Amino acid sequence: MTWLVTGGAGYIGSHVVRAFADVGLETVVLDDLSSGHAGFVPDGVPLVRGSILDTGLVRQVLAEHQVTGVVHVAGFKYAGVSVQRPLHTYEQNVTGTQSVLAAMADEGVDAIVFSSSAATYGTPHTDLVTEATPTSPESPYGESKLIGEWLLRDQGVASGLRHTSLRYFNVVGSGSPDLTDTSPHNLFPLVLDALVEGRTPRIFGVDYDTPDGTCVRDYIHVADLALSHVAAARRLAANEPLELVYNLGSGDGVSVRQIMTAMAEVTGIEFEPEIAPRRAGDPARIVASGELAARDLDWRMRHTLQDMVASAWQARQAASARA
C-alpha cells in the first residue's frame, strides 16, 4: 500500500511524508519544487519532480508506484498574493486538483485526503468556528480551496471516491530540525528572520477587543497536523466513515502579543515590538473547534506555544548553519 503525497517536498507535505514513514506506510512524492525542497524528502522515498497540472505524469506516478491513495497537499497557498494572482491561484489549486482527480479516476485510485484551509471561512462572525460555520472565503486562495472541496464531493457522488478535507488553521513549528518553514508570508518565519537580521518585529493593532488588545489566532503544530493525515488515510484505507470536512484547530487561540513574548523568551533576543496601525480586514479573533477531528482523526494539541516557537527556532538556526 503506497500513498502519493503531492507537494511532499514542502513544509507541510514533508512532515506528512515523515509521519507516514514513522508508522510504516510507504509514500511517493510528486512536487515541482516551486516552493518545496528536495532535501526535505527522506532517503528511500521516491521523489518525482513535476507538476500536478501534468495529468499524464500523475497517472504515470500512480501506476508505476502502485498507489492506493493520495494526500493532496500541493498548491499555491498565499492568500494575500492570490488577490494579485487570481488566475495562477485557480490554475494551481482548482485545475491542479481536477488534474489529480482525473488521473486517480483513470488509474482506479479511490481515496484522497485533501489539504484545505481555514480561509474557506473568510471572517467568521463567531467566537468558535465549527464545521457548521458558513463558508465565506474572501480571497481567490480561500475560494480555490472551497472549490477543491466541491470537486471531491461531486466526484464522490459520481464515482464513489472516498475522501475528506482537512481545514488547517495557522500551521507553525517544526517536527525536525532539518524541516523549516521557508514561506515569505507566514508569521513565525517573518518574526524569526527579523530577529536574526537585527530588525524589530511589528504588531498591527493593539486596540482589539481581546485580553491584551492584539489579534487572537489559532496556531497548531505541523507535526500534530501530520499525524491526523495518517489517521485519515488509515480510515479511508479501512473503508471507515469520515466527515467530508474537519477543522484542525486548538479550540483556544493565542494572541500576537503572546507569540512575541514567547519569541523573545525562546530566542533570548530581547525586543519590544513596533506598534503599527491595524490592517484592513483583520478580525479580532478566529479560533476553531477541533472536536470532530479529535473524535475521528486522533487530533489533539500535543505541543505548547513554547514548543511551537522552540521547534521553529531550532529549525531556523539549523537552516542558517546549512547555508
The C-alpha cell of 250 is what?
486548538
Mean pLDDT of 205-222: 94
CATH code of the domain containing 77: 3.40.50.720
Looking at residue 65, its pLDDT comes to 98
Of 3-7, 15-19, 276-280, give the lowest mean pLDDT range.
Answer: 276-280
pLDDT at 123 (0 to 100):
87
Residues 177 and 62 in one domain: no
Task: For residue range 152-168, list pLDDT tens digits in order.
Answer: 999 999 999 999 999 99
Q: What is the C-alpha to C-alpha distance for residues 188 and 186, in angstroms, rounded to an integer?
A: 6
Asked if 204 and 308 sit in the same domain, the reply is yes
Domain that holds residue 306: 173-217+250-286+299-322
Q: Is 291 part of any domain?
A: no
Structure confidence by residue, pLDDT tens digits, 91-142 = 999 999 999 999 999 999 999 999 999 999 998 888 899 999 999 999 999 9
pLDDT the model gives residue 262: 97
Q: What is the pLDDT of residue 280?
A: 72
pLDDT in tens, 74-99: 999 988 899 999 999 999 999 999 99
- Domain shared by 226 and 88, yes or no: yes
Q: Given this model, what pLDDT does residue 198 score?
A: 95
pLDDT at 284: 86
Q: Both 100 and 194 in a single domain?
A: no
Please check whether residues 43 and 178 belong to one and the same domain: no
Same domain for 99 and 181, yes or no, is no
Query: Average pLDDT for residues 60-66, to the nearest whole number?
Result: 98
- Let me know whether 189 and 229 are in one domain: no
User: Would you say residue 292 lies in a domain?
Assistant: no
pLDDT at residue 322 in the model: 80
Whether residues 166 and 303 fall in one domain? no
The least confident of 20-24, 53-57, 220-224, 274-278 is 274-278
- Confidence class for position 45, pLDDT limits 50, 70, 90: very high
Total domain count, the chain: 2
**Do 103 and 193 belong to one domain?**
no
Residue 149 pLDDT: 98
DSSP state of 173: -
Higher pLDDT, 54 or 284: 54
H runs (alpha helix) in the chain: 11-22, 55-64, 79-84, 86-90, 96-107, 140-159, 187-196, 222-237, 256-267, 291-296, 305-322
Is 116 within the bounds of a domain? yes
Q: Annotated active-site positions, please? A: 141
Q: How confident is the model at residue 283 (pLDDT cuts 50, 70, 90)?
A: confident
Residue 122 neighbours by CB under 8 Å, 6+ apart = 135, 136, 137, 138, 142
Positive or negative, the CA dihedral 153, 162, 168, 15 is negative
Structural domain includes residue 23: yes
pLDDT confidence of residue 26: 98
CATH assignment of the domain containing 184 = 3.90.25.10
Higher pLDDT, 48 or 183: 48
Residue 294 covered by a domain: no
Q: Would you state the pLDDT for residue 162?
A: 98
- pLDDT at 196 (0 to 100): 92
Q: Which long-range contacts (CB under 8 A, 24 or more apart) does 30-33 make?
A: 30/4, 30/5, 30/6, 30/57, 30/58, 30/61, 30/74, 31/6, 31/7, 31/74, 32/74, 33/9
**305 inside domain:** yes
- For residue 64, count CB atoms less than 10 angstroms from its CB and return exposed for 0-12, middle for 13-18, buried for 19 or more: exposed
Q: Per-residue pLDDT averaged across 274-285, rounded?
A: 85
| 205 and 135 co-located in one domain | no
Answer yes or no: do 12 and 143 share one domain: yes
Q: Residue 219's pLDDT is what?
A: 96
Determine the pLDDT at residue 199. 95
